[in-house]
């Protein structure tokens, strides 16, 4: 099998052309987000991109306290949420890179996501701003439906019927069918030219093992992308990976880049 190791993140994204469709894991918190690939694409500068991801409005670049210091108005309740135990104080006060930097750099023309805002009331995301200014076209998809559309794209399924959104504005313009007495909306598969994946370990052939929440959308993205690029903590010899622990087989992975000391995790 081909050795798929690429030396740098810049090299891994260098051939992404303008107009590409890119899938990115983008759930809350840094876990599972391919931060270095996103930053590499930001520096590479490809334009007119379509992004597909769960939460493409997630806060990026600064922590919440830094954000508060950068704006003039006081964000009500921010200090209380940061000091509270759990999610806010644990993850949202930490600086990390998300797809937001691509919106801030005017590289995106369309976003397909289940969440366009940030996790904090009172902060407007770069995606929301871009949509309001008519720079970016936004397609909102329920999160479970988004995951299944990506899975369908990777599995080669031509579409599926789903009851989510029936009787709401979401069904407008979509085919609707009654099956066994229940109404369903027809959903089409999602595919991408490139998929950015964050994994824990890989071997040189691209077999991937994930850790924690990074397993949510990343395996689906790897299957649904024409070219899958994975950033990983470790690259080990094939015999060092337990075959029973491999989630994404190397057949779905085209490039692997190891996160070096000092790079984003």
Strand order in the sheet with 182-187: 160-162, 182-187, 176-179
Angle at 9 between CA 29 and CA 112, to 5 degrees: 50
> For residue range 240-250, what is the model confidence (pLDDT) as tens digits?
999 999 999 99
Report the top-level CATH class of 9-61+96-155+190-258. alpha beta
SS3 content of the chain, % helix, strand, coil (to 5): 30, 25, 45
Q: Rounded to 5 degrees, what are φ and ψ at 221?
A: -60, -40
Confidence of residue 44 (pLDDT cuts 50, 70, 90): very high
CA distance 248 to 228: 11
Query: Comparing C-alpha atoms, which of 165, 166, 182 is closest to residue 114?
Result: 165
**Residue 255 phi, psi (nearest 5):** -140, 145
β-pair partners for 258 = 232
pTM higher than the cut 0.85: yes
Model pLDDT for residues 157-202, shown as the tens digit of each residue: 999 999 999 999 999 999 999 999 999 999 999 999 999 999 999 9
* C-beta of residue 161 within 8 angstroms of C-beta of residue 187: yes
Domain ranges of the chain: 9-61+96-155+190-258
Task: Tell which residue, 223, 254, 195, 219, has the closest CA to residue 20.
Answer: 195
According to the per-residue pLDDT averaged within each range, which of 71-75, 94-98, 105-109 is highest?
A: 105-109
Separation CA 63–CA 80 (nearest Å): 15
Q: What angle do CA 10, 15, 16 make, to 5 degrees?
A: 95
Rounded to 5 degrees, what are φ and ψ at 144? -65, -40
Which letter, b or e, does each residue of 117-140 get, where b requires 16 or more Cβ atoms within 10 Å of its Cβ?
A: bbbbeebebbbbebbeeeebebee
- pLDDT (tens digit per residue) in 133-145: 999 999 999 999 9
Q: Are 207 and 238 in contact (CB under 8 A)?
A: yes
Confidence bin at 96 (pLDDT 50/70/90): confident
Chain-centroid distance, C-alpha 114: 11
Work out the pLDDT band at 91, boundaries 50, 70, 90.
very low
Mean pLDDT of 5-25: 97
Q: What is the dihedral of CA 185, 138, 221, 149, to 10 degrees?
A: 0
Tens digits of per-residue pLDDT, 222-244?
A: 999 999 999 999 999 999 999 99
């Amino acid at each position: 099998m081909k050795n798929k190791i690429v030396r740098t993140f810049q090299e891994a994204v260098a051939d992404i052309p303008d107009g590409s469709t890119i899938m990115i894991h983008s759930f809350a918190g840094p876990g599972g987000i391919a931060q270095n690939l996103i930053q590499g694409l930001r520096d590479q500068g490809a334009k007119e991109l379509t992004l597909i991801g769960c939460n493409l409005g997630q806060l990026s670049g600064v922590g919440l306290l830094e954000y508060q210091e950068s704006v003039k108005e006081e964000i009500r309740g921010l200090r209380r949420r940061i000091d509270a135990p759990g999610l806010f104080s644990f993850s949202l006060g930490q600086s990390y890179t998300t797809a937001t930097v691509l919106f801030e750099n005017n590289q995106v023309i369309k976003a397909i996501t289940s969440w366009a805002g940030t996790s904090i009331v009172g902060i407007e995301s770069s995606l929301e701003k871009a949509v309001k200014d008519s720079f970016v076209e936004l397609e909102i998809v329920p999160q479970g439906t988004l995951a299944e559309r990506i899975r369908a794209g990777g599995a080669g399924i031509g579409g599926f019927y789903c009851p989510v959104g029936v009787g709401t504005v979401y069904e407008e313009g979509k085919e609707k069918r009654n099956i066994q007495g229940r109404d369903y909306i027809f959903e089409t598969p999602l595919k991408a030219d490139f998929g950015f994946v964050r994994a824990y370990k890989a071997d040189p052939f691209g077999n991937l093992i994930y850790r924690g929440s990074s397993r949510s959308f990343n395996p689906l993205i790897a299957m649904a992308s024409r070219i899958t690029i994975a950033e990983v903590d470790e690259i080990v010899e094939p015999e060092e990976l337990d075959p029973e622990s491999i989630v994404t087989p190397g057949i779905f992975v085209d490039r692997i880049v190891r996160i070096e000391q000092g790079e984003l995790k």
